[in-house]
Structure 1
Amino acid sequence: MIDTDALLTWYSAAARDLPWRRPGVSGWQILISEIMLQQTPVVRVEPIWREWVARWPVPSAMAAANQGEVLRAWGKLGYPRRALRLHECARVLAADHGDVVPADVDVLLGLPGIGAYTARAVACFAYGQRVPVVDTNVRRVVARAVHGRAEAGNPAARDLAETESLLPRDVERACGVSAALMELGALVCTARTPGCDRCPLPACAWVSAGRPPSDVVRRTQKYDGTDRQARGRLLDVLRGASGPVERVALDLAWPRDPGQRARALDSLLVDGLVEQTRDGLFALAGEAGSDHDG
């Protein structure tokens, strides 16, 4: 088990002052933060999040924008399909949910682009519900502190029930523990260089076992020269354009491998991030038939 009293005491003193954790932040704004934070560091998310909540404080405001505006505002956060899913979600929230993000996990799961983690994170952090919120950080903390393993391994159905069993019965404390577990994994019980000397937990099965090494083989993910980088370069051209562009502008953005460039462009079209006009020009989603002026 995990000493939740010690964990909460540490969290009250050590938690980062993140804007989406402050009083008065709406469920919609917390939803935006959760989508942005997927596979993206806080330092990159925070300035973009601030811009988004100022520009689109409620779902209907985003729903009124076109897809291209949303993609352009997403900038270089990466994985831009997340932006399109948020835009689609905003339209459903505006049309069917009174411009409010629902609090029920099952209803949240029915929204476009909302998966199990995001639904529970919103229910917990926006509405104070006692639900397990399990991300990579939480799984790692539980694997080490409870099971004595360096790594959590692949996600499993048991993760939710196991994490829920660690939550106090008191709802407010349970929400605090959910946030504190995530913060502990992000700041102290990190993947590569855990700060065990700074850990607030009085007992950890992994430390007690002598910190046995992981048997997971880590594969370094390169970015330079990948299809993902090529896609990003093509999107950069379209985000910076005042309207649809000719194919040659995209060719110049990724000259190193024509075959890879063609593959990247095709995937952007398939994903709905890019559209082609009737006369063969290319534009961000929602802008193929517009006279966007920047």
Structure 2
Amino acid sequence: MQQEIIDWFEAEGRDLPWRQPGFTPWGSLVSEFMLQQTPVARVIPKLEEFLQRWPTPAALAASPSGDAVRAWANLGYPRRALWLHQCAVTIVEKFKGEVPRDVEDLLSLPGVGPYTARAVAVFAFGAHEPVVDTNIRRVIARHNQGNADQGPPSTQRDLEAMTALLPSPEKSPAFNAGIMELGALVCTARNPRCDVCPIAHTCAWKKAGYPEHVGPKKTVQKKYEGSDRQARGAVMALLRQAQHTVSSEELQACWPDHAQLGRAITGLLQDGLIELVADDSYQLPA
């Protein structure tokens, strides 16, 4: 299974910026932040712009955090931009401006969880570590366990399942990337392309006749339209576009439900994504 996935990945893997020779560990960290809950096609142009402006952690750390939030633009979940800025500051202060190689050191960075820490360690530094995302969990659930769906995540269980599959240290980075790519392109959540899957002949789910998933279901995210998240997005969009502080009156015009708008503003203030600079004016963090 491992070698079949590696061979398939070498032939069919996408030509993505973070897979290019010479791509920096800082670039890998930035790309992993951007790729959280955001499609690859939207990330690539923003990643290029971001790294041109801030090619090193020191460059970003020297800029106001609000600049990072503004540059995040329409990638969504702007707290990621704030965390990335905090990461840059921490890397400069604690790691002499160099992205750390060790998983535990990476986990000490703001906003970096088990997936991101291991992804950077593996894809930037070639570490012999298990990387687990939704795509990898789906492939393992189907191929090894015969389940249609991966169910809710469990960090310990999922890392153990992937660790058991890792090949030798020199091959494990390619295997990590390959099984992730297989889940993204072939073993998809809907309409899996079993006819072109390199491991279909040993897939437990296929051998069992593709049974329906009977275990716990993944949590379905609430609809975005009309949600508090959309109200937050409207506030952030207005502040990113403004070249000045924005008054409460101007904010009132950006969202029709004033109670929802109030919750959005309160939440953004608590998250540090906006600042109150006068009794009725707001701006991105300085």
TM-score by length of 2: 0.96
* Aligned counterpart, 1:161: 160
Match of 1:208 in 2: 207
**Counterpart residue type for residue 282 of structure 1:** Y
The answer for the alignment partner of 2:233 in structure 1 is 232
Deviating beyond 6 angstroms after TM superposition, the runs of 4 or more aligned structure 1 residues are none
Report the 3-state secondary structure (helix = DSSP H, G, I; strand = E; otherwise coil) of the residue aligned with 1:76: helix
Matches within 5 A, 1:77-116: 77-116=75-114
Query: Number of aligned pairs?
Result: 282
Deviation at 1:188, TM superposition (A): 0.5
Q: Show structure 2 runs of 5+ residues with no match.
A: none
Distance, in Å, in 2 between the alignment partners of 1:72 and 1:220 is 25
The SS at the match of 1:282 is strand
Q: Give runs of aligned pairs for residues 11-30 of structure 1, distance below 5 A.
A: 11-30=9-28
Give yes or no for the alignment of 1:191 onto 2:189: yes
Q: Secondary structure at the match of 2:171?
A: helix
1:63 aligns with 2:61: yes
**Cα distance between partner residues in 2 of 1:43 and 1:8:** 24
Q: Deviations over 1:145-190 (max 9, x none)?
A: 0000011112221211210111112x22111000001000000001
RMSD (CA atoms): 1.2
| Letter of the 1:206 counterpart | W
Unaligned stretches of 5+ residues in structure 1: 287-294
**SS of match in other structure, 1:75:** helix
The answer to whether structure 1 residue 260 and structure 2 residue 244 are counterparts is: no
Q: Deviations over 1:103-129 (max 9, x none)?
A: 001111111111111110000000001
Partners of 1:250 and 1:46 lie apart in 2 by 31
The 1:195–1:221 alpha-carbon spacing in structure 2 relative to 1, beyond 3 Å, is: farther
Q: Is structure 2 residue 131 aligned with structure 1 residue 133? A: yes
Structure 2 residue aligned with 1:123? 121
8 Å contact from structure 2 (residues 152, 217) kept in 1: no
Identity value in percent: 50
Residues 174-185 of structure 1 aligned to structure 2 (within 5 Å):
174-185=172-183
Q: Tell me the CA shift for residue 217 of structure 1.
A: 5.0
Which string of whole-angstrom CA distances, capped at 9 and with x for unpartnered residues, describes residues 222-254 of structure 1? 211011111001111100111111111111110
Once residues 254 and 213 of structure 2 are traced to their aligned partners in structure 1, the CA distance between those partners, rounded to angstroms, is 41
